[in-house]
Amino acid sequence: MRLVLLSVLCHYGAVVFSQSSVVNFYVATESPIAKAGLLANIGPSGSKSSGAKAGLVIASPSTTNPDYLFTWTRDSALVFKTIIDQFTGGQDTTLRPLIDLYVTAQAALQQVSNPSGTVLTGGLAEPKFNIDGTAFTGPWGRPQRDGPALRATAFITYANWLVANTNETFVTTTLWPIIKLDLDYVMNLWNQTTQVFLISTSALLTGVYDRFDLWEEVDSSSFFTTAAQHRALRQGSALATSIGQTSVVAGYNTQAGNILCFLQSYWNPSGGFITANTGGGRSGIDANTALASIHTFDPTAGCDATTFQPCSDKALSNLKVYVDSFRSIYGINSGISANAAVATGRYPEDVYFNGNPWYLTTAAVAEQLYDSLIVWKQQGSLTITTTSLAFFKQFMPSATTGTFASSTSAFTTLTSSVQTFADDFLSIVSKYTPSNGGFSEQFDKNAGTPLSAADLTWSYASALTVFSARQGFSSAVWGAKGLTVPSGACQSFVGPTVQVTFNVVATTQFGENIFLTGSLDALQNWSPTSAIPLNANNYPTWSVVVTLPANTDFQYKYIRVFNSVVTWESDPNNEQTTPASGSFVIDDTWR
């Protein structure tokens, strides 16, 4: 009970233990527990990863409510980036054999054909696999395009260390082919419309499918994914140059510039926050944005707002809006003052497990603040703009815009307050960490008890990264310094389209109508509520013309709607491929 006891002492007995001493103790005691918890979930020898192929990360040992006994490309990349940072930073020099197992495992996984495709037809963005390295073929939202970018970033960090330590041969012969596959995927497909893939209509009707953002729920462009893709291409271009693979550099750089341009479109100036997704029907306030900021942190970039660095005015304004959105929706946050730390979750509208705080999202807030402190102390000043003024006024109501050198009282007051604020978020994580130090995915919004998947590997990784940031460690430089959005209009992100006429012969009763939906944004992503109505001008043939992306495989079905009752066509889904240009006519008969 020592962690719980210290949290209580911190909350009620500051005269006995200062907040910083409690957090110091928590970091010291939890660090080895988190490290052990993370390693336990990596095959083949992890104590909780029985059955996992060597080098594969299980998301969690949990097999029911929820079943997380799979290996996710995104989670694995973030976990191994943590491991690689510890190894290359000299914090743990024993990790190299494990990293090499990850290399071998991912090289094999890239070649596994799966529902998203083969290695050359989209399979690199398959979100998850069975822990024996075989394809998961159940219904799921796919593709998820952050995985290839995050995996490339992890490997590039390792590759840079190897090159610096006279092992370039391993990089060029083993690592580069893996990295290039992922980077080429990002370069070619980062701006393509995602497609819903469903095994059957029954999966759709029962809701057993997810979408493709960080949380696998929204089928749209995602700030986290875009930021990860931008970083990967920048790092990939630099690595390619250093090892003589110059043929890819121009393409990587061009698309990195386009992605950086697109990244700016997520900023919501009127709301003062980063809109996390371009779709989904939610507020757009989301932990996705804080996570993107810490996972694209480059300490040499200062407080650059173009890449949304942790201490940039936009990232800080966004952080305040994000944190404030949870103040009144969790019972455990009640009674906490408006400028104090609170538990945070994925997004305020969350309903997964009834919507609760997450360990890794609360830790991410602290990590962004610690990253900011690293830069402010490194550059010897901090700047307040009209965009970030509300963030700073939380700590110093008299704060004004301007640049404040480290010799000023404003700098001292603000950095000290931000340090305390960050520690307070970590104290919340400590307060709801069970006595054995194990991390689940979530903790109950009213009782604070652990919920959902136990021993979540990503939760353990997030603890290790926030602890490192608090100690002043920063992640590898990746080239964010001095970047600017390309001059002039950015390249259009909309590819070529074609006009597709859908005709279906369907006999109906009076008041019954025919609608169309399918696997593309333009086909309303299988939504029966926003499906496209067809006209019956040539009854019994119903028709509609829809603009679809060219050269694209897609699936679709017709539905009947009568008195709000929806009836779907029988399985299987209809499938077509649009031509490269011109128009296309599809003639169907209702099944």
Q: Rounded mean pLDDT of 178-189?
A: 94
Question: Domain residues of the chain, as ranges?
Answer: 21-470, 497-589
Using pLDDT thresholds of 50, 70 and 90, give the confidence band for residue 233.
Answer: very high
Q: What are the pLDDT digits (tens) for 244-267?
A: 999 999 999 999 999 999 999 999
Q: Residue 560 pLDDT > 50, yes or no?
A: yes
Q: Residue 168 pLDDT > 50, yes or no?
A: yes
In whole angstroms, what is the distance from residue 164 CA to residue 169 CA? 12
How many residues are given for the chain?
591
In whole angstroms, what is the distance from residue 211 CA to residue 140 CA? 8
Active site residue 350: no
Helix (H) or strand (E) holding 6: helix 2-12
Residue 588, phi-psi category: left (phi > 0), alpha (psi -120 to 50), beta (remainder): beta
Q: Do 559 and 531 touch, CB atoms closer than 8 A? A: yes
In whole angstroms, what is the distance from residue 561 CA to residue 589 CA? 17
Q: What are the pLDDT digits (tens) for 354-409?
A: 999 999 999 999 999 999 999 999 999 999 999 999 999 999 999 999 999 999 99
In whole angstroms, what is the distance from residue 71 CA to residue 52 CA? 9
Helices (H), 94-175: 96-110, 146-164, 168-170
Q: Model pTM?
A: 0.80
First to last CA, the chain: 63
Q: Rounded mean pLDDT of 76-101?
A: 97
Weakest-pLDDT range from 154-158, 232-236, 573-577: 573-577
Q: Do 55 and 42 touch, CB atoms closer than 8 A? A: yes
The whole-angstrom distance between residue 259's C-alpha and the CA centroid of its chain comes to 16
Please report the DSSP string for 306-357 in residue order.
Answer: TTT-TTSHHHHHHHHHHHHTTTTT-GGGTT--TTS----BS-TT--GGGS-B
Half-sphere exposure of 1 (CA within 13 A, CB side): 3
Phi, psi of 83 (to 5 degrees): -65, -45
**What are the residues whose beta carbons fall under 8 Å from the beta carbon of 219, sequence distance 6 or more?**
141, 194, 196, 211, 212, 213, 279, 280, 521, 525
**Structure-token match 């995104």, residue found:** 74
Q: Give strand ranges (E) for 122-221.
A: 128-129
In whole angstroms, what is the distance from residue 63 CA to residue 68 CA? 6
Question: Residue 210: its pLDDT value, please?
Answer: 27
140 is known to lie in a ligand binding site: yes
How big is the CA angle at 172 (ends 169 and 175), to the nearest 5 degrees? 110
**Catalytic position from the list 216, 217, 219, 423:** 216
Q: What are the pLDDT digits (tens) for 411-465?
A: 999 999 999 999 999 999 999 999 999 999 999 999 999 999 999 999 999 999 9
Question: Residue 551: its pLDDT value, please?
Answer: 76
Q: Which CATH class is domain 21-470?
A: mainly alpha
Residue closest to 467 by CA, chosen among 3, 34, 6, 15:
34
In whole angstroms, what is the distance from residue 516 CA to residue 494 CA? 23
Q: What is the 3-state secondary structure (H, E, C) of 363-408?
A: HHHHHHHHHHHHHHHHHCEEEECCCCHHHHHCCCCCCCCEEEECCC
Q: Do 574 and 218 touch, CB atoms closer than 8 A? A: no
**Catalytic position from the list 75, 146, 213, 324:** 213
In whole angstroms, what is the distance from residue 118 CA to residue 111 CA? 7
Question: Residue 520: its pLDDT value, please?
Answer: 83
Q: What are the pLDDT digits (tens) for 464-523?
A: 999 999 999 988 899 999 999 887 656 555 556 778 999 999 999 999 999 999 988 788
What single-letter amino acid sits at 247?
S
Question: Residue 553: its pLDDT value, please?
Answer: 80
CATH topology of domain 497-589: Immunoglobulin-like (2.60.40)
In whole angstroms, what is the distance from residue 511 CA to residue 531 CA? 17
Q: Do 62 and 453 touch, CB atoms closer than 8 A? A: yes
Active site residue 213: yes
Using pLDDT thresholds of 50, 70 and 90, give the confidence band for residue 550.
Answer: confident
